[in-house]
Amino acid sequence: MAAAELLAEKDPRITPRSIADGLARVDWPGRLQVLRHRPLVVVDGAHNAYSMQRLGEALKNYFKYDKLTLILGFGGDKDIPGMVAEAVKMTRDIILVSSRHPRSVKAEVLAREFEKHGVTPRVAEGVAAAVRLTLSPASPSDLICAAGSIFVIAEVMEEMDLNKERRI
């Protein structure tokens, strides 16, 4: 988006409309991908502090919702304190998970980092459990966003595909 805006400054043929049309055609699985409507379920592979910050901005700017719930899981080689600091700016309703990947940080370990920010997250037994835990009480106007490890995102996508017959 930033590159398109810079190019638009140099070339009047690049209009906001042409940028919007181009972006509408982008298909980047796992990046701000909507898996379901009513409630909205979005996945994003935000795996560092900067991308987590940008995710928070994107959710605020591009989606309308009443309540946001985050499903988060991180790899052990990531800037966990930085990602946590950005995540708690978005919502206090956070469910932590560990993916099946061997480098995944245990949800209980992540919980301690959130508690340093005064947030007590819920811990789910796994990604599928977290999806079920968020969907059942969600209202049609809520937003559920899974982020962090690409492995968590993949598992959410698998779970949503398994439950395709229940989606509308």
**92-146: pLDDT as tens digits:** 999 999 999 999 999 999 999 999 999 999 999 999 999 999 999 999 999 999 9
Compare 23 and 34 and report the one with higher pLDDT: 34
Band of residue 168 on the pLDDT scale cut at 50, 70, 90: very low
Compute and round to an integer the Cα radius of gyration of the chain.
17
Is this structure's pTM higher than 0.85?
no
Query: Tokens 């995540």 — which residue?
Result: 87
Measured between alpha carbons, how far is 156 from 161 in angstroms, rounded to an integer? Answer: 8
The yes-or-no verdict on residue 164 having pLDDT over 70 is no
Domains plus CATH for the chain?
1-28 (no CATH), 31-166 (3.90.190.20)
